[in-house]
Amino acid sequence: MAEFEPVLTANIHKPDSHTLPVYEAGGGYQAIRKVLGEMSPVQVVDLVKASGLRGRGGAGFPCGLKWSFLPQNHPGPFYMCINADESEPGTFNNRVLMELDPHQVIEGIMIGCFATKATNAYLYLRYEYPTAYRRLQQAIDECYAKGYLGDNCFGKGFSLNIYMHRGAAAYICGEETGLIESLEGKRAWPRIKPPFPAIEGAFKKPTVVNNIETLACVPHIVNRGVDWFKSMGIPADPNNPRDPGSYGPKLYCISGHIEKPGCYEMPLGVSCRELVERYGGGVWKGRKGKAAIPGGISMGLLAESEWDTKLDFAGPGKAGCLGLGTAAVVVLDETVSMVDFLHNSCRFFAHESCGQCTPCREGTSWSERILYRIKQGKGRLKDLDLLQTISDSIGIMPGTTICGLADGAAWPIKNALKKFRPEFEEYIKRTNPNGYANSQPVEALEVIGLGAH
């Protein structure tokens, strides 16, 4: 393969990369001009559909297809919600894009709104990104001043307003219908689907929710075409009619026990090992790797022996993980205790469950308590069965919960038990020599810091 030339991060190393003049000097805002001058909304939707662009927010849903679900003869208004709630542990690629190239994001939003006939776009930004907030707001202001936003954008009769809307430190606001509820001023309780947002979304109107990175890809598809976009990545599996393939560039994040943590752009489908060794500089301190989270903590674990797994949309699933998720790799070195890892994961989900569905609220909270008990040397082997039962019974997949947070909470438990069970057993026996075989109900230990976010 020829040396890969960065696409989404092509500008970020330039001085003042976040400003309009620098963006335009690099060819910025040509794609939206082309779209407004030469294309119809349907043509843009078809182009994005043909490019095979899939959502980068976690679910990997084909972007053009999602846009095409909007009702045709609806009087409007239509809304665009941009998901910048980025809170999946290990993930920070949206931050990089928003802080260092906000105009690229805005151009993507413009084209997305033109394609979906949205006249108002709400950019839902997690509260903890103050720099991204300022940079984006500054970029939006620059666009209004230039006539790129507002009424009659670029003098082409297209109107668009982009409003920043800040969250309040709740992971669940990243789930698209939780985001919509939060935007509407309510608790971020995800909705039962259908209806999907495309039919009834924000303010009961047809709405598209897209991730920052997904939208950042769109101007490049317009500028350079479908064939170029499809020249990157892993093609659809011809033997699997349901595989839409994994095309285009991707911002991979690497963090944890790695020499050079960071955000690295490459075509979809790099292997976990290549990412760690070639780009991340290897496991830190010359140590060996033990496992890696393939795409944010919700996706579960790849054992070191599985690191040749390709990080395209289909790869991690083949190794028993939930999916590619956000393509955020977190490396665990050989010294990490899986008990500690799983406690951290369970604590996160117990903290972030919105509490709406009983299996998720209770399941995540009890997993945390059980892991805490094990960690404190009071675990029983039976606890592992309990954890297995919980992880098998919470989530959209078993059909017990409204949103995917619960699947994400279950997956690290499932993978840890499947891939590292002997370690848990050994830990329990070693730390609780007199009680590990106990199967009577035991008192729960008090856990500090529990409760809703």
Ligand X SMILES: Cc1cc2nc3c(=O)[nH]c(=O)nc-3n(C[C@H](O)[C@H](O)[C@H](O)COP(=O)(O)O)c2cc1C
Sole window of 95-103, 156-164, 206-214, 403-411 interacting with ligand SF4 (rule: CB under 6 A): 403-411
* Cβ at position 355, least distance to another protein in Å: 9
Q: Examine residue 367 and tell whether it contacts ligand X (CB under 6 A).
A: no
Q: Which is nearer to ligand X, 293 or 338 (CB)?
A: 293
Q: Examine residue 255 and tell whether it contacts ligand X (CB under 6 A).
A: no
What spatial distance separates the first Cα and last Cα of the chain, rounded to whole Å?
46
Q: What does 168 bind: ligand X, ligand SF4, another protein, none (CB cut-off 5 to 8 Å by kind)? A: another protein
Sole window of 193-201, 264-272, 273-281, 396-404 interacting with ligand SF4 (rule: CB under 6 A): 396-404
Q: What does 432 bind: ligand SF4, another protein, ligand X, none (CB cut-off 5 to 8 Å by kind)? A: none
Q: What does 7 bind: another protein, ligand SF4, ligand X, none (CB cut-off 5 to 8 Å by kind)? A: none
Q: Which is nearer to another protein, 127 or 144 (CB)?
A: 127
Is residue 23 within 8 Å of 104, Cβ to Cβ? yes
List the interface residues with another protein, window 40-79 (CB under 8 A).
Answer: 77
In angstroms, rounded to a whole number, what is the distance separating the alpha carbons of residues 101 and 25?
Answer: 13
List the interface residues with ligand X, window 199-238 (CB under 6 A).
Answer: 209-211, 214
Q: Examine residue 182 and tell whether it contacts ligand X (CB under 6 A).
A: no
* Cβ at position 95, least distance to ligand X in Å: 11
Q: What does 356 bind: another protein, ligand X, ligand SF4, none (CB cut-off 5 to 8 Å by kind)? A: ligand SF4
Q: Examine residue 401 and tell whether it contacts ligand X (CB under 6 A).
A: no
Q: Which is nearer to ligand SF4, 110 or 354 (CB)?
A: 354
* Burial of 30: CB neighbours in 10 Å, binned 0-12, 13-18, 19+: middle
Q: How many residues bind ligand X (CB under 6 A)?
A: 24
Q: Examine residue 114 and tell whether it contacts another protein (CB under 8 A).
A: no
Sole window of 82-90, 157-165, 242-250, 439-447 interacting with ligand X (rule: CB under 6 A): 82-90
Q: Which is nearer to another protein, 205 or 273 (CB)?
A: 205
* Cβ at position 367, least distance to ligand SF4 in Å: 13
Contact with ligand X (CB under 6 A) among 28, 86, 295, 368? 86
Q: Which is nearer to ligand SF4, 156 or 186 (CB)?
A: 186
- Of the candidates 115, 112, 108, 113, the one whose C-alpha atom is nearest the C-alpha of residue 42 is 115
List the interface residues with ligand SF4, window 326-355 (CB under 6 A).
Answer: 353-355
Contact with another protein (CB under 8 A) among 145, 168, 437, 445? 168
Is residue 395 within 8 Å of 406, Cβ to Cβ? yes
Q: Examine residue 279 and tell whether it contacts another protein (CB under 8 A).
A: no
SS (H, E, C) the chain: CCCCCCCCCCCCCCCCCCCHHHHHHCCCCHHHHHHHHHCCHHHHHHHHHHHCCECCCCCCCEHHHHHHCCCCCCCCCEEEEEEECCCCCCCCHHHHHHHHCHHHHHHHHHHHHHHHCEEEEEEEECCCCHHHHHHHHHHHHHHHHHCCCEEEECCCCEEEEEEEEECCCCHHHHCHHHHHHHHCCCCCCCCCCCCCCCCCCHHHCCEEEEEHHHHHHHHHHHHHHHHHHHCCEECCCCCCCCCCCEECEEEEEEEECECCCEEEEEECCCEHHHHHHHHCCCEHHHCCEEEEECCCHHHCCEEHHHCCCECCCCHHHHCCCCCCCCCEEEEEECCCCHHHHHHHHHHHHHHHCCCCCHHHHHHHHHHHHHHHHHHHHHCCHHHHHHHHHHHHHCCCCCCCCCCCHHHHHHHHHHHHHHHHHHHHHHHHHHHCCCCCCCCCCCCCCCCCCCCCC
Residues near ligand SF4, by CB under 6 A? 172, 190, 353-357, 360-361, 401-403, 405-406
Site residues, another protein (CB under 8 A): 77, 86-92, 94-95, 120, 126-131, 161, 163, 165-171, 182-188, 203, 205, 253-257, 261-263, 293, 297, 328, 330, 332, 336, 340-341, 344-345, 347-348, 351-352, 354, 449, 451-453
| Chain positions contacting ligand X, by CB under 6 A | 55-59, 61, 63, 83, 85-88, 172, 174-176, 209-211, 214, 403-405, 408
